[in-house]
């Protein structure tokens, strides 16, 4: 429903959801499916100043970045790999505006899709800015500047997150951009600086490196991908080095200066183990993390509990200190992942309906959509050693996979970690082709407490990339067929 339909009105709902990203729209739809009357409030406007659903993920996050990752990967394949298949090209070029237009088309299709899903499930969409005035009241300032109140039995906060700005290099949306601006370069920058070697920095750096940018990634930490299993991160570091991503660890950005003579260049100043350094770029992407969007969301009298970083404090069921107000997704504790927020949205909806649904926070899969992809779930070796857990591992390289070799995509490996006594799978870590999809097989297995032997005894189709998962599981107990087995303890 549009702002005109609620102008000057107060309306009552069972549930009001604030935010229509993956956490919010999923919560709204599931609540409606369970028989609640639902309104979902969204303030997002696209670059054409049109109010749209989908939040960060669909508009300037997961979806558009993956569209550009796919386009740039196809370009790189055409440039480097087609000849291996006997395919020759007379002339290869990249039309950046056309690539961006395709990205926008994908985004529009999905955001329009949410509109259709709301209509099909009888969720009332309201475009405007929300503020929670009381436990049951949400004030709306709509797109026309008119104000009205919504009354709700329950309120679900799903306002998401936004990029962190850093004082030494403030965003100007021209030369210095955040992750949103990095999706809109109208040409390939010759020299690109990326501040932050996390998921966002690596993905966006990969996009433009494939298209010809000379990319340097400055990371303040002295370790690369510290949350990833160390064996995997070492493997990834070598692969990225071959791809031309120049990743400088322990490099803390301290300031910047613009190029001389009015040039559209920027000098980034940073300190590393050698002292003070400076490097010149044509564009810089700041990708040092995200923070929750909770500013101006609550009336001062509400007294909802927030942590010092602005996250809404919730329990394991995403309930706040106010019993009928819940919060899900990026705005609460835990990794900022769309699928985590979606599952929390479903959990809250079902608990409102009296179900005992829970989210298994121990089995949240993580993925970095570079190429090869990096994906993991559960514990890594370092964490298990710290916890004093006795474990065993099995690995299988994609270089020994017939399907990967046939596709000329054989970098990386699958690694499975299992309990040394029970054989129960404790973690899986993959770098390689289709890692995100392969990992899901283990996520499902771990949800049902599977052992490495269970996976080893399961029949896998041949030839398939998933055979690497099968062989890694076999290798845990020294039974791999297509590689030599390491002697087990």
CA dist., res. 437 & res. 443, Å (int): 10
Count Cβ atoms within 10 A of the Cβ of residue 313 and give its class: 0-12 exposed, 13-18 middle, 19 or more buried. middle
Cis peptide before 262 (omega within 30 of 0): no
Strand-pairing partners, residue 204, are none
pLDDT at residue 259, as a whole number: 80
pLDDT at residue 486, as a whole number: 83
CA dist., res. 394 & res. 471, Å (int): 8
The domain at 3-163+291-361 falls in which architecture? 3-Layer(bba) Sandwich (3.50)
Sequence-distant (6+) residues with CB within 8 A of 193 are: 215, 216, 217, 218, 266, 268, 279, 281, 283, 284, 285
Residues of the chain with pLDDT > 90, as a percent, come to 93
pLDDT at residue 488, as a whole number: 63
CA dist., res. 35 & res. 39, Å (int): 13
Cis peptide before 182 (omega within 30 of 0): no
pTM of the model: 0.95
Per the rule left: phi > 0, alpha: psi between -120 and 50, beta: everything else, 193 is beta
Comma-separated ranges of CATH 3.50.50.60 domains in the chain: 3-163+291-361, 176-288
CB 169, CB 254: distance < 8 Å:
no
pLDDT at residue 146, as a whole number: 86
Give the residue with greater pLDDT, 183 vs 488: 183
Lowest mean pLDDT of 10-14, 149-153, 379-383, name the range. Answer: 10-14
Comma-separated ranges of CATH 3.30.390.30 domains in the chain: 372-476
- Domain 372-476: top CATH class: alpha beta
pLDDT at residue 262, as a whole number: 59
pLDDT in tens, 194-241: 999 999 999 999 999 999 999 999 999 999 999 999 999 999 999 999
- Residues annotated catalytic, as ranges: 462
Per the rule left: phi > 0, alpha: psi between -120 and 50, beta: everything else, 34 is alpha
CA dist., res. 42 & res. 24, Å (int): 9
**CATH code given to domain 176-288:** 3.50.50.60
| E strand spans, 358-456 | 366-368, 373-378, 391-397, 413-419, 425-432
Neighbour order of strands in the sheet with 214-218:
176-177, 283-286, 191-195, 214-218, 246-248
Helix, strand, coil percentages for the chain (3-state, nearest 5): 35, 25, 40
């Amino acid at each position: 429903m549009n702002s005109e339909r609620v102008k000057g009105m107060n309306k009552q709902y069972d549930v009001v959801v604030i935010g229509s990203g993956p956490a919010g729209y999923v919560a709204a739809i599931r609540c409606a499916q369970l028989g609640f009357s639902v309104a979902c409030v969204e303030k997002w406007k696209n670059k054409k100043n049109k109010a749209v659903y989908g939040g960060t993920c669909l508009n300037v996050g997961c979806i558009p970045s993956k569209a550009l990752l796919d386009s740039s990967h196809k370009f790189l394949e055409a440039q480097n790999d087609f000849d291996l298949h006997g395919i020759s090209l007379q002339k290869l070029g990249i039309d950046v505006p056309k690539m961006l237009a395709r990205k926008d088309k994908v985004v529009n299709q999905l955001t329009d899709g949410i509109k259709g899903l709301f209509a099909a499930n009888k969720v009332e969409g309201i475009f405007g800015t929300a503020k929670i005035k009381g436990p049951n009241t949400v004030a709306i300032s709509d797109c026309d500047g008119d104000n009205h109140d919504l009354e709700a039995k329950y309120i679900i906060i799903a306002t998401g997150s936004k990029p962190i700005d850093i004082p030494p290099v403030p965003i100007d949306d021209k030369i210095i951009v955040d992750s949103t601006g990095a999706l809109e370069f109208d040409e390939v920058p010759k020299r690109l600086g990326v501040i932050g070697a996390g998921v966002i920095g690596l993905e966006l750096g990969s996009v433009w490196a494939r298209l010809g940018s000379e990319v340097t990634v400055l990371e303040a930490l002295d370790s690369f991908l510290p949350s990833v299993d160390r064996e995997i991160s070492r493997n990834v570091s070598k692969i990225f080095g071959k791809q031309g991503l120049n990743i400088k660890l322990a490099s803390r950005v301290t300031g910047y200066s613009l190029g001389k003579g009015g040039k559209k260049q920027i000098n980034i100043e940073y300190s590393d183990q050698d002292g003070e350094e400076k490097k010149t770029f044509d564009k810089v992407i700041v990708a040092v993390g995200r923070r929750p969007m909770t500013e101006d969301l609550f009336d001062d009298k509400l007294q909802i509990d927030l942590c010092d970083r602005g996250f809404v404090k919730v329990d394991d069921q995403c309930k706040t200190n106010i019993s009928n107000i819940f919060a899900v997704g990026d705005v609460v504790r835990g990794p900022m992942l769309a699928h985590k927020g979606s599952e929390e949205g479903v959990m809250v909806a079902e608990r409102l309906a009296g179900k005992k649904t829970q989210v298994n926070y121990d089995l949240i899969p993580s993925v970095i959509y570079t190429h090869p992809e990096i994906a993991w779930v559960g514990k890594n070796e370092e964490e298990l050693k710290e916890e004093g857990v006795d474990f065993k591992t099995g690995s299988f390289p994609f270089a020994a996979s017939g399907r990967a070799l046939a596709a000329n995509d054989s970098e990386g490996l699958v690694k499975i970690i299992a309990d040394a006594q029970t054989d129960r799978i404790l973690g899986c870590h993959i770098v390689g082709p289709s890692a995100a999809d392969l990992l899901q097989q283990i996520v499902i297995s771990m949800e049902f407490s599977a052992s490495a032997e269970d996976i080893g005894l399961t029949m896998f189709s041949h030839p398939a990339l998933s055979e690497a998962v099968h062989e890694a599981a076999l290798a845990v107990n020294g039974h791999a067929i297509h590689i030599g087995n390491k002697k087990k303890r």
